[in-house]
């Protein structure tokens, strides 16, 4: 297997291409990002020193519309990872039938080390560097790991300063007060919840008898935990970067969320408290959480956490990938052989980009929708696209992941064919 994250991501495409008829040239073109921007962002720190951070923005494909994808702040960000994430966004938007291409960006930084003012300077500095590359009809960023709605608000404001006009539609995931959408904050978790609800209904699983472990308790992990807990699912374990907690009878999710939130101090944009700070709960490692004896495992933190080293030990029968790229290709083959169903990232976590699309539509029309309208639209789209993927999987005897990639490829292929392929220009 290639070491490079982008090449590993493309291996999924190569697998899917075996099951779908699209012209070779279309498939070939998806192996290359449309455009790559590499920047350095100098930031004056509070103590007067200057630090320079490296950042990237990649547009993978604009076949279906302007680029769409998050901006990540994490020490491990590098160009190959950003290219892989941009490629996944192309597939995700295609699976959800959204009028967007794929893009992604990130800065190599540990944002928890920065003060709030340093974080603002970095975020505004990044936008000044990439302002000519993005735009409401070109490439629309959004939050991702360790970026949040406040940061999106700063970025929108800075972009508007640069172009000398108010541009709420340049970025999604903004605070409500700055043109954000109702329902956006919990949309990724809610979208995943709809997928899981459909799958468990299909299998006749009762919520109260279904146990769930969630790896990662940030935006996406907390939102799905809350919905599952409300429905009666037994969320027995959750974790964050500080470790994991377990209660076989089911955790009190609202209390844990409250505990995490109380750790968000005024001088920091991030929670300083871990789920492990809860009283009276058993703690375990993140690695042990992944192999717990549960019905459903939800990776909701980082990529490459389910690998060939632990895939044989996974005991869940369903994996719902809320994180992007949590399962390596080698692990996927093991899970497939062991009959474990994986709802892939490009489908399971697509609720976020779907409501980002609704936010963009609202910003462009000036017509703002209620939370009920947003949730209804999200439910309708998730259920319908999930149904199409499951139908394709059963028709072609594919895994859910292979079927999702096939559907994405069919849609990308149709757009490429409409522009004309070799067959058209060669007169075949």
Q: Footprint of ligand NAD on this chain (CB under 6 A)?
A: 143-146, 188, 215-221, 239-241, 286, 300-302, 322-324, 349, 352
Q: Copy the structure tokens of residue 316.
A: 């869940």
User: Least separation, in Å, of the C-beta of 359 and ligand NAD?
Assistant: 11
Q: Tell me if residue 130 falls in helix, strand or coil.
A: helix
User: Least separation, in Å, of the C-beta of 352 and ligand NAD?
Assistant: 3
According to DSSP, residue 181 is labeled P
Give the pairing of strands 211-215 and 234-240. parallel
Residue 244 buriedness (CB in 10 A; 0-12 / 13-18 / 19+):
buried
| Nearer of residues 22 and 320 to ligand NAD, judged by Cβ | 320
User: Least separation, in Å, of the C-beta of 297 and ligand NAD?
Assistant: 13
Residue 280 buriedness (CB in 10 A; 0-12 / 13-18 / 19+):
exposed
Task: Report the candidate in 213, 146, 153, 211 with the shortest Cα–Cα distance to residue 179.
Answer: 153
| Nearer of residues 55 and 143 to ligand NAD, judged by Cβ | 143
User: Least separation, in Å, of the C-beta of 288 and ligand NAD?
Assistant: 12
DSSP 227-295: HHHHHT-EEEEEEETTEEEE-TT---HHHHHHHHHTT--TT-SS----GGGSTT-EEE-HHHHHT-S-S
**Phi, psi torsion values for 243, nearest 5 degrees:** 135, -170
Q: Copy the structure tokens of residue 190.
A: 């809610």
User: Least separation, in Å, of the C-beta of 86 and ligand NAD?
Assistant: 12
Residue 113 buriedness (CB in 10 A; 0-12 / 13-18 / 19+):
exposed
| Nearer of residues 91 and 416 to ligand NAD, judged by Cβ | 91
**Phi, psi torsion values for 146, nearest 5 degrees:** 60, 20
Residue 293 buriedness (CB in 10 A; 0-12 / 13-18 / 19+):
exposed
User: Least separation, in Å, of the C-beta of 238 and ligand NAD?
Assistant: 9
| Nearer of residues 66 and 216 to ligand NAD, judged by Cβ | 216
Give the pairing of strands 341-343 and 211-215. unpaired
Length of the chain: 428
Report d(CA 392, CA 276) in Å as an integer: 42
Q: Copy the structure tokens of residue 170.
A: 């340049």
Report d(CA 46, CA 25) in Å as an integer: 51
| Nearer of residues 126 and 220 to ligand NAD, judged by Cβ | 220
Q: CA distances (Å), 283 to each of 101, 237, 246, in order?
A: 42, 9, 6
| Nearer of residues 5 and 322 to ligand NAD, judged by Cβ | 322
| Nearer of residues 90 and 324 to ligand NAD, judged by Cβ | 324
User: Least separation, in Å, of the C-beta of 242 and ligand NAD?
Assistant: 7
Among this protein's residues, is 174 annotated catalytic? Answer: no
User: Least separation, in Å, of the C-beta of 347 and ligand NAD?
Assistant: 11
- Alpha helices, DSSP H only, in 30-115? 79-95
| Nearer of residues 42 and 75 to ligand NAD, judged by Cβ | 75
* Active-site entry in 34, 92, 104, 234: 104
What residues are annotated to the active site? 104
């Amino acid at each position: 297997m290639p070491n490079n994250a982008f090449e590993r991501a493309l291996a999924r495409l190569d697998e899917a291409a075996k099951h779908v008829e699209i012209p070779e040239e279309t498939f070939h073109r998806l192996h290359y990002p449309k455009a790559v921007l590499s920047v350095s962002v100098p930031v004056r720190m509070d103590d007067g020193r200057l630090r320079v951070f490296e950042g990237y923005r990649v547009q993978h494909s604009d076949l279906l519309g302007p680029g769409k994808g998050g901006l990540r702040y994490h020490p491990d960000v590098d160009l190959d990872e950003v290219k892989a994430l941009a490629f996944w966004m192309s597939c995700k938007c295609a699976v959800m039938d959204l009028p967007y291409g794929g893009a992604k960006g990130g800065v190599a930084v540990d944002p928890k080390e920065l003060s709030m003012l340093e974080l603002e300077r970095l975020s505004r500095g990044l936008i000044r560097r990439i302002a000519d590359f993005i735009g409401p009809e070109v490439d629309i960023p959004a939050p991702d790991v360790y970026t949040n709605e406040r940061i999106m608000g700063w970025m929108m404001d800075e972009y508007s300063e640069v172009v000398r006009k108010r541009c709420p539609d340049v970025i999604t995931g903004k605070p409500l007060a700055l043109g954000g959408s109702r329902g956006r904050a919990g949309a990724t978790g809610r979208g995943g919840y709809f997928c899981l609800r459909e799958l468990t209904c299909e299998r006749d699983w009762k919520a109260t008898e279904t146990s769930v472990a969630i790896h990662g308790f940030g935006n996406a992990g907390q939102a799905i935990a809350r919905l599952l807990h409300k429905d009666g699912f037994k969320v027995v374990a959750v974790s964050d970067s500080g470790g994991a907690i377990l209660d076989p009878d089911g955790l009190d999710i609202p209390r844990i969320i409250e505990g995490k939130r109380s750790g968000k101090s005024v001088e920091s944009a991030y929670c300083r408290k871990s789920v492990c700070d809860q009283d009276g709960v058993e703690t375990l490692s993140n690695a042990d959480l992944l192999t717990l004896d549960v019905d459903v495992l939800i990776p909701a933190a980082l990529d490459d956490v389910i690998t060939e080293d632990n895939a044989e030990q996974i005991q869940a029968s369903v994996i719902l990938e809320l994180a992007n790229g949590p399962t390596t290709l080698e692990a996927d083959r093991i899970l497939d052989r062991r009959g474990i169903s994986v709802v892939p990232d490009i489908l399971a976590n697509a609720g976020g980009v779907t409501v980002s699309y609704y936010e963009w539509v609202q910003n462009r029309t000036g017509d703002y929708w209620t939370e009920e309208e947003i949730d209804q639209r999200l439910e309708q789209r998730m259920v319908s696209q999930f149904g199409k993927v499951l139908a394709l999987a059963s028709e072609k005897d594919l895994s859910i992941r292979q079927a999702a990639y096939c559907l994405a490829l069919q849609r990308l292929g149709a757009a490429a064919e409409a522009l004309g392929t070799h067959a058209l220009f060669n007169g075949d």
